[in-house]
Amino acid sequence: MRTLKVAVIGDAIIDEYHYTEPLGQTGKGNILAVKYKSMEQFAGGAIAVANHIAGFVDQVTLLSALGQENSQEAFIRNKLAENVRAEFLYFTSAPTVIKRRYVDADSSAAKLFEVYFYEEEPRDQVLEQAACQWIKENLSQFDLVVVSDFGNGFIAGDMIQAICDEAQFLSVNTQINSGNRGYHVITRYPHADFIALNEPELRLAAHDRYSALTEIATQIGEQLEASKMAITRGTQGAMMLSFNPKEAYDCPALSTKIVDRVGAGDSFLALASLCLASGISPEISLFVASSAAALDVQIVCNREAISPISLYKYMNTLLK
């Protein structure tokens, strides 16, 4: 993996955790009152994916967009791994995306509610043109391109086709979240070599709630001419499908302790993409990625990236 040239393209997101202590119901209504304790910021989205990958390769290039106002650029650059080279473009009419979560201080898994600071589809022709130019001039030099598409407006217009045209090995995740549910699916991409989705993301793309996962995955995989697809299923583990030859592998959930599920899909995408682009078998790739996700749910949000040493130790423990 170390010699792979990797590019990560996607939305830059700042995750904020505002830790609180529940006080109970207010005296004059059915509202939960909490006492504010503290706040912590994390670099999420495509930034987290790049940081996960950075421990396993010599250098990662990150292409993303920040807001001209409230860019949070100093914080983001401080959180990037030393070997992540950032190429930032700038929205003229949208801020850097912030997702603020109010959390029970005694349990990061117990989130009360969240607030989004962003603009829905802030189409910016100047930004799109600059992104397309960078993609056409640079993307073909990378062995692996990982697209972490959160549907927050950065990847839009002609960028999608340009990415598909230029990437040598393209790995894509299109995440469903509260701001894009129903409007953001993997089929907005005409092609991908590897697709990583959770079960709801896959079923939404196929508009199919009940059919077998392998049937739906085959339909979407053939449509995008993919060679591999992974479907993550939370406590039910994950599945990896290879379409040529046709093979399917299952892996149970490997986590023994869950602190926070936020970011687990990003670590799965990062490690599965690295393994498959390196020629590692789908079965082993699934185990490595599932192990990374199992480690990630033991970390609060994106407080730290998955490191090779911690991952190797965890896998060795699992195999004993």
DSSP string of 9-60, one letter each residue: EE-EEEEEEEEEEEEEE-TTSSPEEEEEEEEEEEEEEHHHHHHHHHTTSS-E
Condensed to tens digits (0 to 9), the pLDDT of residues 12-67 reads: 999 999 999 989 888 888 888 999 999 999 999 999 999 999 999 999 999 999 99
Q: Domain limits of the chain? A: 6-25+32-319
Per-residue tokens: 70: 């409230």
- On the question of a cis peptide bond just before residue 282, with omega within 30 degrees of 0, the verdict is no
Could you tell me the pTM of the whole model? 0.95
> Quick one: pLDDT at residue 195?
98
> Quick one: pLDDT at residue 121?
64
> Quick one: pLDDT at residue 180?
79
> Quick one: pLDDT at residue 190?
97
Condensed to tens digits (0 to 9), the pLDDT of residues 71-103 reads: 999 999 999 999 999 999 999 888 999 999 999
CATH topology of domain 6-25+32-319: UDP-N-acetylmuramoyl-L-alanine:D-glutamate ligase (3.40.1190)
User: 69 vs 161, which has greater pLDDT?
Assistant: 161
* Count, residues in the chain: 320
